[in-house]
Structure formats: structure tokens, C-alpha cells
A and B are shown apart, each in its own frame.
Chain A
Amino acid sequence: MKNAIKMLMVLNLVFGFALTGYAGGPYGVDERKVIIEGSTTVLPIAQAAAETFMRQNPDTEIVVRGGGSGVGIASLIDKNCDIADSSRAIKDSELDKAVTNGVNPKAHVIAMDGLAVIVNPANPLNALSRKQIRDIYTGNISNWKDLGGNDQKIVVVSRDSSSGTFEAFGVLVLEGQKTRPDALMQASNQAVASVVAHTQGAIGYVGLGYISSEVKALRVDGILPSKETVLTDKYPVSRPLYMYTNGAVTGTTRDFIDFIMSKEGQKIVDEQGYVGLK
């Protein structure tokens, strides 16, 4: 499935180049071409939005690359991309460097990223603190009875280590510590939800869109995850997602950012499992 998407991306690129070669001619090619680079968390949003945007504006070309937030911001500072995707705010050191290079990074919050911590509905617990969740994922606690639950081994379920979800969870809950190596690494949000739904002692984390009646979302530090608690920044396992541009931009880059902020763009955000701002 993922490979199929990758193949489509490659084809898209190849045909994209071919098309701009014809349509663009010597003038205005750069104007219509936008390069987006950075966070793998933001990548699915940027990719899906770019596909829709290019379908609606066939004379434009949007190239989306991953690499990570740091890579994207570095690339923006070196003027190698038009938009830097980032899952964190720009650091002071990066800002200094940008100023020296004559780049003026402007932040656009395009979505919120919220993760629900889920357990099997048969689990009597309804709430955990972030510290307790961290202890579970790093292996300090391995039985539910240590948390006031049943005497049952905890089955730790995680996303694959290259996913943006895994990275977000690592930052927001684990604070950089390593997930225990025997965690069940699942390839999608859906797979995590499915394992938790079918395994009594399991705990997992998924995007807010994947909460269903088959799993139970826990209160984290007392707050139940919902669109509202994420948008008001009350729910702790959430963070804003950014697109950085060089100053107030014009042309296709501006149009693309406007598109993401539009109702249609925010619908794409929701569809990709993130929390739209509207």
C-alpha cells in the first residue's frame, strides 16, 4: 500500500516535470513550483493537500519531501525550499542563523496533532498520568496491578519507529526515552487500534480520529482527549503543526498556504487523522 503511494509519488514527479517542461516554458516555471520539505508528521497533510491543489491548479507543481523538522527548517534557511514543515516551533539558534542569511521565517499553524492513549474496554482504568504512561512504555511498569488495575501483564503497542505519530508520542510523553524493545510495533493507526481492541492487557496510542467504541481512550493528566481539549491546548498529548515560509510570501506558495487554511484544506487535515483548526 505504502509502496504503491510511493510509486504514485514518483510517477507524479516524473510526469510533473514533463508537464511543466511543456507548460512553463522559460518564464514563470519557478513561480509555479513550490518545494516543501521537513517534518514527517506534517508530510501526509502536505502530500494530500498538494495532490488536491495540483489537480485544481494543473499549471502548478508542488514537490513534497520528508527529512524531519530540523532538515526542513535548515533547508528554508539555505533557501532550498519554499515551505518548511515542522512539528515544533523554530529554535532560537535557527532563528539567528536565518537572520544572518537574510531569511525571515514566518510561522503558520496549519493543524493540531493530538494522540489518544487507548486501552481495551475491559480494562477498569480510566485515567493515567503522563508519568505513568511513560513508565509503561519504557518498561518500568509491566503489570496493570501496579497502577491499580487487574493482575495482568501490560501489552505495550506502539507505532513504527519511522512514523510521525511515534515521534510525537516520543516527544510529548516519553520525553526522549526509548520505548521498551518488546513493544508490538504496528504499521498503522488502524492496526494499533485493532490490536488494542482484541487484546485485554494492551495499551496503545492513535490519532484522535481512531477512537471508537472498540477501544477506550484514557484521561491523561485528568483530561479526556477531544477536538475541543486539543484545540484549547488543555489536553497534554497534543501540539501545533507548523509550516514556515520566508516572510509573507506571494504567488503559488501563498495560494498553497491559503488552500491548507481553507475549509477544504482543513478537511484534508482531518482526513489524515490530525485535528483541523476549523
Chain B
Amino acid sequence: MKEKLYKLIFMVLAFASLIFLLGIVFILFKESLPIFSKVNIGKFIFGRFWYPTYSPPEFGILPLILASAWVTFGAILVCVPLGVGSALYLNELAGPRQRAILKPLVELLASVPSVVFGFFGMVIVTPFLQKIFNLPTGLTAFNASLVLGVMATPTVCSIAEDALNYVPKSFREASFALGADRWQTLIQVVIPAAGSGISTAIILGMSRAIGETMTVLMVAGGAAVIPHTFLEPVRPMTAAIAAEMGEAPVGSSHYHALFAIALILFLVTFIFNIIAEIVSRRFRIKLGLSG
């Protein structure tokens, strides 16, 4: 009897997140669909100008999508070498004591609030970039990429390190037995075996970067133009939503357009996560860890 009750309670808890997810998806669709009766969906996604409050308004979010893409891509260039590199060091080279200190420290980086990263980017990185590249402003896609890259590093490092850990000891032993040295074992056995786990780490790092809001709002500059180089100000989707939602009249086209941006963002991260899940499942099967 008691056991049944506990089971029920925990079942409700387990389903709670599912209900939240469904609720969010429902609201996203409900609040974003009205915009598509006013603006053609193709024009919405591929429109080059975002002038939501003029009359007539223009709801083209291509500059926002490209801004998110550039910034995320830039962040990947920063967080993959940093994250995967530190995972390899932690797993392969660091002694147990070093590892006991380093790994929690890397994970501690993940607990720094994003507004602190944003502040750091604004006060330290911005004037620095402005000076070295001789730019009119240091608030650029490059700046956002750097800061986001550092923010996503713990995610990538932590998951990649777990993946390396899952590689069965026998793989390494077999490789050493065949006469391979440490480097050959790492490059030809361990990394390929952990490859899909590392890919999962990278994809989740991407999700982290594309969804980050506060930091890009503070350091990306906020200009809704199609970026040509990394050294220009951009306006990622999350920044547009955060900056404009507070003052968009409820129920207006602008309001629905912001929800539509959120929907697109949600779908993108959703797809990223599904890919990550598929890849990591393949990885477990490959290593014979589970069916």
C-alpha cells in the first residue's frame, strides 16, 4: 500500500517535466501562429529587415538567425579545443590528485551566472578587442563567441571526459599489447571509441551556446544586420526576444513574432538534443554498454 503510494508520488514527479514541456510547446505554437497569417512564413524566415514597430512593420528574422548561427559557430571554435583538450588531459595524462582538483574546478566554471560572464565580456573583453583590432566598437559577434565559448567549455569538457571514461580498459590494454604507444592508442583507439560521446558533448555545447541570452544581450552589440565578419555587432535571436518582449504590447504582431522566434529557437535546440541522444545511444551500443 505504502509502496504504491510512493510509486505514485514519484511517477507524478517524473511526469511533471513532461507536462511542463508540453505546456511550453503548446504556448509557443499558440502564441506564434497568428503572425503567420500576417506574414508569409518564408518572408519571416528569409526577410532581411527587422523593423517590428514601424508602420508598416517588417518582420524579417534572417539577420537574427544568422547572428545566432555565427555566434554559435564561433563559440564552438573556442569551446571544442578547450573542452575536448582538457577532457583528454584529465582522462589520459593527469594524475589522480591533479584530476581530483581540476575536474571540480572546470565544473565550477559552469556555475558562474551568465550575467557575470556578460559583465566580464563588456568590461574586460570589449575594450581589449576594440584596441587590438582597432574597431569602432568591441561589442561584436567575435566577443560573444569568445565569452560563450568559455561558458560552454565545462559542458563539453565534462561530457567528453565521461565519454573517455566509458571506453573499456580492455581497449587500451589490447592496443598496448599490440605494441602501440600511448599517443597511437589515444588517437587510433580511444578517441574513435569515444568519438560519438565526444560528438554528443559538442552538440550539447552548441545547444548551450545558441540558447544563451544574457551574455549575448550584453556583448553582441544588438544590431539586426546580416553579419559579414566576426568583428561586426550582431543581434542573436535570444537577445531580440529578451530585449523586446518586455515592451511589446500583448497580442500585437510584434508579440506574436517574438514568440515565433522563440518557437524556431526551440525547434533548433530540440533537434540538436535529439541528434545528441541518437549519437550517444549509438556510442553505447558500439561499446557494448547497453542495448
Contacting A67 at CB < 8 Å: which of B126, B138, B249?
B249
CA distance A263 to B235 in the complex (A): 41
Cβ–Cβ contact B225 & A182, under 8 A: yes
Tell whether B246 is near chain A: CB-to-CB under 8 Å: yes
- A182 and B247 in contact, given A155-B137, A187-B217, A198-B127 (Cβ under 8 angstroms): no
User: A187: which B residues are within 8 A, CB to CB?
Assistant: 217, 222, 242-243
Cβ–Cβ contact A162 & B254, under 8 A: yes
Cβ–Cβ contact B53 & A162, under 8 A: yes
Q: What does the 1/0 interface line of A49-85 toward B look like (CB < 8 Å)?
A: 0000000000000000111100100000000000000
Contacting B245 at CB < 8 Å: which of A3, A71, A153, A198?
A3
- A163 and B245 in contact, given A184-B233, A195-B139 (Cβ under 8 angstroms): no
Residue count of chain B within 8 Å CB distance of chain A: 35
- A181 and B225 in contact, given A162-B254, A201-B136 (Cβ under 8 angstroms): yes
Contacting B136 at CB < 8 Å: which of A65, A153, A167?
A153
| CB neighbors of B among A137-189 (8 A) | 152-155, 160-164, 166-167, 178, 181-187
CA distance A239 to B244 in the complex (A): 24
- A2 and B51 in contact, given A184-B139, A184-B222 (Cβ under 8 angstroms): no
Q: What does the 1/0 interface line of B226-252 toward A look like (CB < 8 Å)?
A: 000000110100000011111111101
Tell whether A202 is near chain B: CB-to-CB under 8 Å: yes
Contacting A163 at CB < 8 Å: which of B127, B235, B247?
B247
Cβ–Cβ contact A3 & B246, under 8 A: yes
Tell whether B202 is near chain A: CB-to-CB under 8 Å: no
Cβ–Cβ contact A199 & B137, under 8 A: yes
A residues touching B (Cβ–Cβ < 8 Å)?
A: 2-3, 5-6, 40, 43, 65-68, 71, 152-155, 160-164, 166-167, 178, 181-187, 194-195, 198-199, 201-202
User: Other than the known A66-B249, A162-B244, A185-B243, what 16 A-B pairs have Cβ atoms closer than 8 Å?
Assistant: A6-B245, A6-B246, A40-B249, A43-B247, A65-B249, A65-B250, A66-B247, A68-B249, A161-B244, A167-B53, A178-B54, A182-B225, A186-B243, A187-B242, A195-B137, A198-B126
